[in-house]
């Protein structure tokens, strides 16, 4: 396919996912299945165009005066790819499956493309209804935080301490040119290529051998700072596919006990194979037998550390899922806050006197972070937040620089601040 034909395909995919409000991955998959002529390079290039257009959806629509799929692609070609009107006109010529020629309105909009006078939410590429939350969380830095969140994400992996270390893994993957993570002692990073994709990590022998897991460095970091220690009893309350469960197992070094569960038993399915591959032997997966069944009832009041990877809007992962940014609706935030209150209440019933709850979200919104912790503390007398400085003093690595990103009750990571996805961590100590 020609570059122009790929742009036409991207516009077609965007039309489908916007009109049907469906995930970009689903729309791209259906497009590829119905057009077998498109090779892997074509599909990768089209996916890159689609995701980049979604990253810049608000700014493109505002600058060009319309929110059509075509306008989103045009705006992205200017703001993300640095193209000028003449270069874009050569691609939009209407020939050989190329998009129709530019209209006078489009030419004028592209020539005058300027976001300096645009409202903050448009410059930040954040949904306008969420802008007050971003402002509350980041103040004068809200625009730059949003812009960083609209960038492309690297691929991070975590060296599995049960089988290797970062230096050995880096040597094994030297052909892929990994870089050490800036914060986590287990992290290696692979920067995206021109098409936005990273290497095919899951085809590496070291992956099959369980020597690493794909995990954002921010996710690694908040797990390290949660306070898990060997010989502890730990519950991963919202374990899902088990990324943090596996990281906890590595931190504990095969000692102690980890109980992994999730209210949605289907999400736990991949964890069993991942545990086998990792070599972790101290994890017990507790699968709910039915809706409403408490798989941890026998552990009430006995757990040293309850890790709560809480359900949230996922705003901190928008670099990886830019389509999710535009599918979330105002009512979803209120629902997630309710979910967070429920799961924190469940954690409080599990933790032993003097034990700890590590509350984690992949969110950038204060309602889901400090706001959720403040509401929990008001409901649960005797619980106290662990001082951020204490969280950062792990004895393993000097995390002192992270103190700059402390909030009232915890720590906020972000693409702009730490080069990671947006994660929040607050640790709460139960009354003795």
Binding residues: 262, 309
Q: For this structure, is 427 an active site residue?
A: no
| Whole-number Cα distances in Å, 338 to 170, 238, 295, 372, 424 | 42, 15, 21, 9, 17
CB 142 within 8 A of CB 124: yes
Report helix, strand or coil for 303: strand
Closest CA to 75 of 55, 48, 104, 103: 55
User: What is the three-class DSSP state of 111?
Assistant: helix
Q: Could you tell me which residues are annotated as the binding site for S-adenosyl-L-methionine?
A: 262, 309
Alpha helices by DSSP H, 139-216: 142-149, 166-172, 205-208
Residues 260 and 319: their CA atoms lie apart, in Å, by: 28
Count CB atoms within 10 A of the CB of residue 93. Answer: 13
| Cα separation, 126 vs 147, whole angstroms | 9
**How many Å apart are CA 372 and CA 130, to the nearest integer?**
17
- Report whether 137 contacts 363 (CB < 8 A): no
Q: Which tokens sit at 431?
A: 């009354």
Catalytic residues: 362
């Amino acid at each position: 396919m020609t570059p122009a034909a790929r742009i036409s395909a991207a516009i077609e995919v965007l039309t489908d996912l916007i009109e049907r409000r469906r995930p970009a991955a689903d729309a791209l998959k259906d497009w590829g299945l119905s057009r077998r002529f498109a090779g892997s390079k074509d599909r990768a290039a089209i996916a890159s165009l689609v995701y980049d257009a979604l990253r810049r959806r608000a700014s493109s629509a505002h600058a060009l005066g319309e929110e059509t799929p075509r306008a989103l692609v045009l705006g992205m070609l200017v703001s993300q790819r640095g193209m000028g009107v003449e270069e874009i006109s050569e691609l939009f010529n209407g020939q050989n499956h190329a998009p129709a020629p530019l209209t006078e309105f489009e030419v004028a909009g592209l020539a005058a493309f300027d976001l300096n006078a645009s409202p903050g939410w448009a410059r930040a590429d954040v949904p306008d209804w969420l802008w007050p939350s971003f402002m509350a969380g980041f103040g004068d830095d809200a625009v730059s935080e949003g812009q960083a969140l609209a960038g492309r994400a690297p691929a991070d992996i975590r060296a599995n301490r049960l089988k290797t270390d970062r230096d050995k893994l880096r040597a094994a993957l030297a052909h892929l040119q990994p870089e050490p993570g800036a914060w986590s002692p287990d992290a290696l990073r692979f920067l995206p290529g021109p098409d936005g994709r990273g290497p095919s990590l899951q085809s590496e022998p070291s992956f099959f051998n369980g020597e690493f897991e794909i995990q954002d460095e921010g996710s690694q970091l908040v797990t390290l700072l949660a306070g898990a220690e060997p010989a502890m009893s730990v519950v991963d309350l919202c374990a899902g596919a088990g990324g943090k469960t596996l990281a906890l197992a590595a931190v504990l070094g095969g000692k102690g006990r980890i109980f992994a569960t999730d209210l949605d038993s289907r999400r736990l399915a991949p964890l069993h194979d991942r545990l086998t591959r990792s070599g972790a032997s101290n994890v017990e997966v507790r699968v709910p037998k039915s809706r409403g069944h408490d798989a941890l009832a026998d552990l009430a009041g006995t757990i040293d550390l309850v890790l709560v990877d809480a359900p949230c809007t996922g705003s901190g992962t928008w670099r990886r899922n830019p389509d999710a940014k535009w599918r979330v609706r105002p009512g979803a935030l209120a629902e997630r806050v309710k979910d967070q209150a429920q799961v924190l209440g469940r954690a409080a019933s599990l933790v032993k006197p003097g034990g700890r709850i590590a509350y984690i979200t992949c969110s950038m919104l204060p309602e889901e972070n400090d706001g959720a912790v403040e509401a929990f503390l008001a409901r649960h007398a005797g619980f106290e937040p662990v001082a951020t400085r204490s969280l950062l003093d792990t004895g393993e690595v000097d995390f002192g620089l992270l103190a700059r990103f402390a909030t009232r009750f915890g720590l906020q990571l972000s693409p702009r601040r730490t080069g990671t996805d947006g994660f929040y961590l607050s640790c709460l100590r139960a009354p003795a």
